[in-house]
Structure 1
Amino acid sequence: MSDAPLISVRGEAVVEAEPEIARLSVHVQSQESDRRAALDRLTERNRRCLDLVESYGDAVEKVETGGLSIAPLLKYKRREGDIRAYRGTVWIKITVADFGVLGELVTRLGDLDRTYVNGPEWELRRDSEVYGRAARQAAHEAVARARSYAEALGSRLTGLVELSDEGLGRTMREAPVALAAAYGGGVGGAAEEPEPIDLEPETQVVRAAVEARFTVTQPDLEPR
């Protein structure tokens, strides 16, 4: 086992970057006195929502159905009684890559009947180069810090013993907020398109940290 002196350091990096995708969560509802009518109305509204989203082509990267439910609503909460209505809900998850259409898409979705839009959640892609950039900066910081300590002791770095990644973390500045709700909107007749809402992408903050151990030459500890 080598008896060379060791220096242990921690390197950190904080990188700010523009988001690469935005996620929207859309809930489409129906409520009718008849179960089949509620399901049919929900199917119709779901199709209308999907048609709108798909009309944006490649600007929308992914569309997923997160869940569907049809639930009876009772007249009395504390006892089994007559069913007064049936409520249907479809949850649609949308990933948008082109922020140029995002404001328009959000307002048009929010203008649909009985539709609730939540978001956007600004994110980096999982394979974003920003994470690698942060990791490299953290490693460079560890080397620079170790070299600084070694020079202060009259030593120099001679080798790397260990480098461990503490992981990468993304910090959101604010939680996403609900942008549009249109429960019980009007039906029938051509309606004027809503004005697109201005959305400013939220800066993404990526933090990286590493721990490293270096061997160094014997320090010069003689008083000066």
Structure 2
Amino acid sequence: MTFDADTPGTSAPTPPYGTPETPRVAVRGEARLEVDPEIARISVTVGARGTDRRTALDDLTRRNAYVLDLVKSYGDAVEKLETGAFSITPELTKYGRGERVRAYYGRVHLTVELADFTALGELTTRIADLDLASVSGPWWSLRPDSPARGTARRQAVREAVQRAREYAEALGARLDALVELADIGAEGSGGYGMPAAPGGAMRSVPFGGAGGAEAAPALDLEPQRQTVYAQVNARFTMTPPDLTA
């Protein structure tokens, strides 16, 4: 929108780069925090094998149900449980000039997210101890609404104000008004991580060994710290500088 200085009730906009009377200063504010992650994700693959398709499917259904019940037994420690890809694949073996199905392999992929990292170590071990089951991960992360992201943004804004104030003071001036504040973005390091136990927030979930066998010891998983970045561009007007000093 433009304004005509000759039109009553309107005023001319400030030039984009300021004037000698109202100079502008443009700065960037940055913040970088190292924080403990809040959630961990593991990927679970449940497998089954049978000489015919129905046998493989029945076995896969049974094994999948067992793993789902095992994960759900950890209650509130599990924040998300999702089923991904499912497949039943024949294994072909050549006999003479033809091909025959030797066996069928079934697989179901699950994704599990946990906020209780003691439970994570136990659950990972228990699943890895099952036949035809595999676990990969963990991947560590912050929640999208993590307070750490807001903390980084506020620090970036404070740094921008401080930097602009120092530039103005170097010229014998002072900041007058904020003209623009542009969010460049505040991002985590991606990946999933697990923090060290914060203030007793973690708990141990008791469990019994499958089939009466001695349970495997829980994995001792070390947390991976997460890096949170924030950057802002800010423009201020300042009072006329003292260029005679």
Task: Please report how far the alpha carbon of residue 81 of structure 1 lies from its aligned counterpart in structure 2 after TM superposition.
Answer: 2.7
Given the alignment of the two structures, is residue 136 of structure 1 paired with residue 154 of structure 2, yes or no? yes
**Counterpart AA for 2:175:** L
Contact 2:39-2:193 within 8 A present in 1 as well: no
What are the equivalent positions in structure 2 for 1:52-201 lying under 5 Å apart? Answer: 52-75=70-93, 81-171=99-189, 190-201=212-223
Report what 1:37 is aligned to: 55
Contact 1:161-1:214 within 8 A present in 2 as well: yes
Contact 1:173-1:202 within 8 A present in 2 as well: no
Task: Please report how far the alpha carbon of residue 172 of structure 1 lies from its aligned counterpart in structure 2 after TM superposition.
Answer: 5.2
Please, which runs of 5 or more residues in structure 2 have no aligned partner? 1-12, 195-209
Decide which moves more: 31-40 or 130-139.
Answer: 31-40
Report what 1:208 is aligned to: 230
> What CA distance in whole angstroms lies between the structure 2 residues aligned with 1:198 and 1:16?
22
For the residue of structure 1 that corresponds to 2:121, the secondary structure is helix
> What CA distance in whole angstroms lies between the structure 1 residues aligned with 2:78 and 2:193?
22
Given the alignment of the two structures, is residue 9 of structure 1 paired with residue 27 of structure 2, yes or no? yes
Contact 1:74-1:80 within 8 A present in 2 as well: no
Task: Please report how far the alpha carbon of residue 19 of structure 1 lies from its aligned counterpart in structure 2 after TM superposition.
Answer: 1.1
Q: Percent identity?
A: 54
Shift >6 Å, 4+ stretches: 173-176
**Counterpart AA for 1:214:** F
Please, which runs of 5 or more residues in structure 1 have no aligned partner? 177-187
Larger Rg: 2
> What CA distance in whole angstroms lies between the structure 1 residues aligned with 2:139 and 2:98?
40
> What CA distance in whole angstroms lies between the structure 2 residues aligned with 1:55 and 1:100?
14
Task: Please report how far the alpha carbon of residue 70 of structure 1 lies from its aligned counterpart in structure 2 after TM superposition.
Answer: 1.2
> What CA distance in whole angstroms lies between the structure 2 residues aligned with 1:43 and 1:15?
45
Report what 2:4 is aligned to: none
**Counterpart AA for 1:195:** P
TM-score, length-scaled by structure 1: 0.87
Change in 2 beyond 3 A, CA 1:195/1:89 = same
**Counterpart AA for 1:132:** G
**CA-atom RMSD, angstroms?**
2.1
Post-superposition CA distance 1:67-94 (Å, at most 9, x none):
2111222225xx9832222111101111
Change in 2 beyond 3 A, CA 1:189/1:207 = closer
Contact 2:31-2:229 within 8 A present in 1 as well: yes
**Counterpart AA for 1:115:** A
Q: How many residues are matched?
A: 210
For the residue of structure 1 that corresponds to 2:164, the secondary structure is helix
**Counterpart AA for 2:93:** K
Contact 2:91-2:103 within 8 A present in 1 as well: yes
> What CA distance in whole angstroms lies between the structure 1 residues aligned with 2:134 and 2:191?
23
Task: Please report how far the alpha carbon of residue 217 of structure 1 lies from its aligned counterpart in structure 2 after TM superposition.
Answer: 1.1
Contact 1:49-1:112 within 8 A present in 2 as well: no
